[in-house]
């Protein structure tokens, strides 16, 4: 009896794989999700300030103002001189992100010990450059002013020296973070899409009625969908890590891939169950897509992959403990970034086992009730 159940689960899973193989749209989605999507997510993240357009209005025309103007150069800034009457209109038209106005008698006031101000206008709608760029401009202006007043560029020796050591990402390269996190997020997203779409496709094509008259149980049908779609996601994630992350982007991964994929399997057990449950609620693919947006976007935004959970409200942190992506992000970052072993990530594994079991039972109960209703 047990052998027959295993054979039914295996054959039904193979049927799911053949159905997926005959669906070119889904195949393109899988290929895109773990190749182009990963590459663009890694390279699109701003690595810092780069070629920010800045307009400089030099009303002083002094040696100091010229030194300040010449200090803004690529790759951080692209400077251009402009007139005062054209500064505001240029900012309104989006021609530059920053505008620096050096007033008349700026150098004279500094040398006389009088208060002197420099106006910096920032286009705050360009958030990726506005915050860091304003800090860069402040440092550049103050550095040039101090060096001019002191008459030399020698740095002042401080009694305390800060020794900075960046762990796990010594070059502070955002591609290391963006590419791996995209793989992690896509594992959850694609598993929900594949399992939900497979069930809805069977219902729309009428093949679910064929399964109902076969000598198979609801548990076998559901488990077949879980293992087949999980296998597809695991293979796609492995290819994405090896070909895109390590091959194309040259991101070093020192952690155990075996341990990472073991955690991914537990996560997939939960997320595929979520996909089946959502598919039983939805009556069509458009409804499933809308429902998936309501569930998936909060899971990805609040799981700790984009923003540290410590910076979130306490209530959100507690609620997100029931989401499998929260624990998957935690163990994946620990394994892939910090080369953590099982002795470090076992609490996340334990939580995933509990969450996956509950999600699978709830989805199985809902799926069973839906099948009986259709009968």
- Taking the model in full, what pTM does it have? 0.78
Q: Are residues 177 and 255 in the same domain?
A: yes
Same domain membership, residue 338 and residue 276: yes
94 pLDDT band, cuts 50/70/90, is confident
Predicted confidence band of residue 374 (pLDDT cuts 50, 70, 90):
low
The two structure tokens encoding residue 83: 């007139």
For the segment 265-319, what is each residue's pLDDT rounded down to a tens digit? 999 999 999 999 999 888 888 889 889 888 888 888 888 887 888 888 899 899 9
pLDDT band at 48 (very low <50, low <70, confident <90, very high): low
List the structure tokens of 355. Answer: 């969450």
Rg (CA), the chain: 28
115, 150, 185 — which closes off a domain?
150
14 and 80 part of one domain: no
Of 150, 181, 216, the one marking the end of a domain is: 150
- Same domain, yes or no, for 124 and 251? no
Q: Are residues 250 and 336 in the same domain?
A: yes
Label residue 157 by pLDDT band (50, 70, 90): low
Identify the CATH number of the domain in which residue 67 sits. Answer: 3.40.1710.10
* Across 40-64, average pLDDT: 83
Question: Quick one: what percent of the chain has pLDDT higher than 90?
Answer: 34
Number of structural domains in the chain: 2
Whole-number pLDDT of residue 309? 86
- CA 306 centroid distance within chain: 5
Is residue 165 assigned to a domain?
A: no
Domain-embedded: residue 321: yes
Determine the average pLDDT of the residues in 223-243.
Answer: 93
- Residue 64 above 80 pLDDT? yes
Look at residues 118, 150, 182 and tell me which one is the last residue of a structural domain.
Answer: 150
* Same domain, residue pair 312 and 197: yes
Considering the domain boundaries, does residue 304 fall inside one? yes
Co-location of 144 and 82 in the same domain = yes
User: C-alpha dihedral over 258, 259, 261, 263, to 10 degrees?
Assistant: 160
Which tokens sit at 56? 């400089």
Q: Is residue 37 part of a domain?
A: yes
Residue 181 shares a structural domain with residue 302: yes
**Crossing angle, helix 2-21 and helix 24-33, to 10 degrees?**
90
Q: Mind listing the pLDDT tens digit for each residue in 194-228?
A: 998 888 888 777 777 676 677 788 888 889 989 99
Say which residues have a Cβ less than 8 Å from residue 105's Cβ, sequence separation at least 6. 60
160 inside domain: no
Distance CA 89, CA 102 (A): 18
Residue 163 resides in a domain? no
- What pLDDT score was predicted for residue 286? 87
105 and 37, same structural domain? Answer: no
Q: Do residues 58 and 198 share a domain? A: no
Residues 100 and 81 occupy one common structural domain: yes
pLDDT band at 112, cuts 50/70/90? confident
Q: How would residue 154 be classed by pLDDT, with cut points 50, 70 and 90?
A: low
- Backbone torsions φ then ψ of 210, nearest 5 degrees: -65, -40
Assess whether 25 and 134 both reside in one domain.
no
Contact in structure between 230 and 261 (CB atoms under 8 Å): no
- Structural domain range at position 95: 52-150
162 pLDDT exceeds 60?
A: yes
Q: What is the 8-class DSSP label of residue 78?
A: E
- Kindly state whether residue 272 falls inside one of the protein's structural domains: yes
Residues 6+ apart with CB under 8 A from 183: 34, 38, 237, 240, 241, 245
Q: Would 162 be classed as within a structural domain?
A: no
């Amino acid at each position: 009896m047990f052998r027959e159940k295993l054979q039914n689960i295996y054959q039904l899973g193979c049927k799911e794989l053949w159905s997926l193989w005959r669906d070119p749209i889904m195949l393109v989605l899988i290929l895109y999700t773990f190749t182009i999507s990963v590459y663009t997510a890694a390279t699109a993240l701003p690595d810092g300030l780069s070629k920010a357009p800045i307009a400089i209005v030099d009303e002083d025309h002094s040696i100091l103002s010229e030194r300040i103007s010449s200090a803004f150069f690529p790759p951080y800034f692209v400077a251009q001189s402009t007139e005062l009457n054209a500064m505001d209109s240029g900012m309104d038209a989006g021609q530059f992100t920053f505008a620096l106005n050096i007033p008349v008698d700026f150098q004279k006031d500094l040398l006389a010990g009088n208060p002197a101000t420099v106006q910096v206008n920032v286009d705050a709608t360009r958030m990726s450059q506005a915050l860091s760029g304003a800090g860069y401009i402040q440092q550049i202006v103050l550095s040039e002013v101090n060096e001019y007043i002191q008459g030399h560029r020698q740095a002042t020796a401080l009694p305390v020296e800060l020794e900075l050591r960046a762990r796990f990402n010594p070059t502070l390269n955002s591609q290391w973070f963006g590419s791996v996190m995209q793989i992690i997020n896509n594992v959850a997203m694609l598993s929900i899409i594949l399992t939900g779409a497979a069930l809805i496709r069977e219902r729309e094509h009428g093949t679910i009625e064929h399964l109902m008259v076969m000598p198979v149980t609801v548990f076998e049908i559901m488990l077949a969908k879980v293992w087949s779609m999980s296998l597809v996601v695991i293979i796609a994630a492995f290819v994405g890590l090896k070909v895109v992350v390590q091959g194309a982007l040259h991101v070093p991964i020192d952690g155990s891939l075996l341990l990472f994929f073991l955690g991914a399997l537990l996560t997939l057990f939960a997320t595929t169950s979520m996909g089946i449950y959502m598919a039983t609620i939805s009556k069509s693919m458009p409804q499933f897509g809308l429902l998936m947006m309501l569930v998936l976007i909060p899971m990805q935004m609040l799981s700790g992959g984009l923003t540290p959970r410590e910076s979130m409200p306490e209530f959100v942190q507690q609620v997100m403990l029931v989401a499998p992506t929260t624990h998957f992000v935690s163990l994946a970052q620990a394994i892939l970034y910090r080369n953590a072993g099982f002795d470090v990530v076992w609490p996340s594994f334990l939580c995933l086992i509990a969450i996956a079991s509950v999600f699978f039972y709830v989805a199985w109960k809902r799926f069973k009730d839906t099948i009986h209703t259709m009968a």
